[in-house]
Amino acid sequence: MCVCNTCFRHCHLKEGQKGFCGARICRNGRVVCDSYGYLTSLALDPIEKKPLAMFHPGSLVVSAGSYGCNLACPFCQNFTILQEKDRKGTRYVSPEELLILTEETRARYPETIGVAYTYNEMLTSWEYVRDASRLIHDTGMLNVLVTNGTAEPAVINEILPYIDAMNIDLKGFTDEFYTDFVGGSLAETKNFIRTAARHCHVEVTTLIIPGRNDSEEEIEKAAKWLSSLLSMEPIAYHITRYFPRWKLDTPATDVRTVYHLADVVRQYLPNVFVGNC
């Protein structure tokens, strides 16, 4: 029996069994990353798409994504790649190959600053993120991580030396929302944000879902908590409009709600952005 220590789930796995995320497996008596290097998505994106509004604006990043996720958000925007349980439809790209590809891209597009690990929850493949970001870092280019912040401290410590910026999803700000709706841990995500903010540039995103996490009280509490981290590193907060996706058919968030909640947040944070409006 193997125990995975990547996130709070601590999946107990039999030989050959994959964890909840679908990306990690018990092999020869230990948990390894089955998705290592197998990419479902590879693109050149504006940094603002991550979204990062205050980190090298106007630049481009090579965006790499794999498969697997350790949450179960019914509104997942990238469910077609997150729910992959094998390597079908992937392309193997070693860390060394990703470095070469990024250097070639930068030669053609000088505004390219490095690599973003994005699209799925890449910390289910944290060994790949660590190995690739170390190579990118050693050349002087930059690394960006887009994550749900669901990872144990040991995983954070493995990657932090090489990551320059993160956008972290704060799905909501109640234990009930995390536990019952997205299958996560608010405490672990808060710890992840707190730790990351001490080491790199951090921006946070909350997708506003009608009737779920859209109360003024909840968003105000989130903003107050984020404001307490400002002494570490200025944090930008993205308040983003939800659209129906995957299993959730709740109507899209009213634009007025998004703008109102952004105004609430501005009472506590100086850098607030709206998305999908």
Per-residue pLDDT of the chain (277 residues; tens, 9 = 90+): 899 999 999 999 999 999 999 999 999 999 999 999 999 999 999 999 999 999 999 999 999 999 999 999 999 988 877 655 567 789 999 999 999 999 999 999 999 999 999 999 999 999 999 999 999 999 999 999 999 999 999 999 999 999 999 999 999 999 999 999 999 999 999 999 999 999 999 999 999 999 999 999 999 999 999 999 977 777 999 999 999 988 999 999 999 999 999 999 999 999 999 999 9
pLDDT at site 245: 87
Element spanning 45, H or E? strand 41-46
Q: How many C-beta neighbours within 10 Å does residue 90 have?
A: 17
Q: Tokens in use for 74?
A: 């019914």
pLDDT at site 79: 81
pLDDT at site 84: 57
Q: Classify the C-alpha dihedral 228-229-233-237 as positive or negative.
A: negative
pLDDT at site 236: 95
Task: State the pTM of this model.
Answer: 0.96
Residue with tokens 């060394």: 96
**Which residues lie closer than 8 Å to 60 by C-beta, 6 or more apart?**
44, 45, 46, 47, 105, 109, 111, 112, 113
pLDDT at site 86: 65
3-state class of 38 per DSSP?
strand
Long-range contacts, stretch 250-253, CB < 8 angstroms, 24+ apart: 250/75, 250/209, 250/210, 250/211, 250/212, 251/210, 253/208, 253/209, 253/210, 253/214
DSSP state of 66: -
3-state class of 153 per DSSP?
helix
Q: Which domains can be identified in the chain, with CATH numbers?
A: 36-275 (3.20.20.70)
